[in-house]
Amino acid sequence: MAYDKFTILKSSAVPLPIENVDTDQIIPARFLKATERKGFGDNLFRDWRYNSDDTPKKDFVLNNPIYSGKILVAGKNFGSGSSREHAAWAIYDYGFRCVVSSFFADIFKNNSLNIGILPVTVSPEFLDKIYKAIEADPKAELEVNLPEQTITILATGEKESFDINGYKKHNLMNGFDDIDYLQAMKAEIAAFAEKSLY
């Protein structure tokens, strides 16, 4: 699935300062029954976002009109649990292009990169600075600069660098995906398979 190129993203952010947000919260299992990749954004954080009668829960951040933007700022160990890529699809479909946290679960991080969401890991201290900036001004903007691998709180100029694997960075910046790469090396794979015990 090709996705949009990612270079520099300047946007306000939505704060979700909860730890260990698992994929069952991001998209509950009962919404995994589709056979196509669409419409998952409507059910992003479904049970935190809506009451059982489908009315919005007033105190949940996605229902608070003062917060908006393409960046989700979450507590540590974000995306733990299931390998369901539907969680990343729901985040993308809702309109987020970047998730910032001090710690991501492995499979979630991979899934995000594979569909064009940039997971940015910052220090716990910088995460706190971001929360404070949003607290001071809900419209406070962040700049995520992938070529330079930095994230900046524009109101204060506070900046931190983040790590990303060079191959993944190249893919994100160009909108390439792994399947293109693997298709180009099919002969090498076939030769490898010949020697395989199984």
Provide, rounded to whole angstroms, the least separation between the CB of residue 69 and other proteins.
20
Compute how many other C-beta atoms are within 10 angstroms of the C-beta atom of residue 184: 9
C-beta separation of 150 from 8 below 8 A: no
Which residue(s) pair with 14 in the sheet? Answer: 72
- Residue 173 is a binding residue for other proteins (CB under 8 A): no
Cα separations in angstroms, 89 against 25, 86, 96, 117, 153: 14, 5, 10, 9, 26
Per CB under 8 A, the list member of 4, 30, 54, 157 interacting with other proteins is 30
Token digits of residue 17? 């300062």
55-74 binders of other proteins (CB under 8 A): none
- Spatial strand order of the sheet with 71-74 comes to 118-121, 98-101, 71-74, 8-16, 141-145, 150-153, 158-161
Per CB under 8 A, the list member of 12, 13, 14, 25 interacting with other proteins is 25
- Residue 196 is a binding residue for other proteins (CB under 8 A): yes
Provide, rounded to whole angstroms, the least separation between the CB of residue 10 and other proteins.
26
Residue (of 72, 47, 41) closest to 60 by Cα position: 47
Provide, rounded to whole angstroms, the least separation between the CB of residue 15 and other proteins.
11
CA–CA gap between residue 26 and residue 101 (Å, rounded): 15
Residue with tokens 């919260």: 25
- Residue 181 is a binding residue for other proteins (CB under 8 A): yes
Binding-site string for other proteins from residue 73 to residue 112, where x marks contact by CB under 8 A and - marks none = --xxx--xxxxxxx-x--------------xxxxx--xx-
Give the interface segment with other proteins, choosing from 14-22, 55-63, 139-147, 150-158 (CB under 8 A): 14-22
Contacting positions for other proteins (CB under 8 A): 1, 17-20, 22, 24-25, 28-30, 32-37, 47, 52, 75-77, 80-86, 88, 103-107, 110-111, 114-115, 165-168, 177-179, 181-183, 185-186, 188-190, 192-193, 196-198
